Amino acid sequence: MVSKRVFYEGRVQGVGFRYIVRSLATGYEVVGSVKNLIDGRVELEVQGDPDEVDEFLEAILDSQLRRHISRFVVQEIPVKSGVKGFQIRH
């Protein structure tokens, strides 16, 4: 089990970013959340099997969202217990 936090920068708010990410997550065995930050970035937290997490993150970059992303930073974070599903946080 691995857990990662990713900060996406660019024109990532107001383009359906969170909803597309949540939709993509349904194709992978991952749990987590995605939310807009007040500084204009989007924060994603995802956890699961290392291969599933990596494939999910790659799917985001392979999707139509890629054209909105100018930069992204990936951080390893401690695995959280009790996380279920994948949700949009406000």
Q: Where are the domains of the chain?
A: 2-78
Question: b or e along 21-50 (b: 16 or more beta carbons within 10 Å of the residue's beta carbon)?
Answer: bbebbeebebbbbbebeeeebbebbbbbee
pLDDT given at position 31:
98
pLDDT given at position 57:
98
- The answer to whether 36 is a known catalytic residue is yes
pLDDT given at position 45:
98
CATH class of the domain defined by 2-78: alpha beta
Identify the active-site residue in 22, 36, 41, 71: 36
- The answer to whether 5 is a known catalytic residue is no
pLDDT given at position 27:
96
Q: What is the mean pLDDT of each run of 10 residues along the chain (90 residues)?
A: 98 96 97 98 98 98 97 97 94
Residue 33 to residue 45: CA distance in whole angstroms: 5
Identify the active-site residue in 11, 18, 66, 89: 18
The pTM (predicted TM-score) of the whole model is 0.95
pLDDT given at position 39:
98
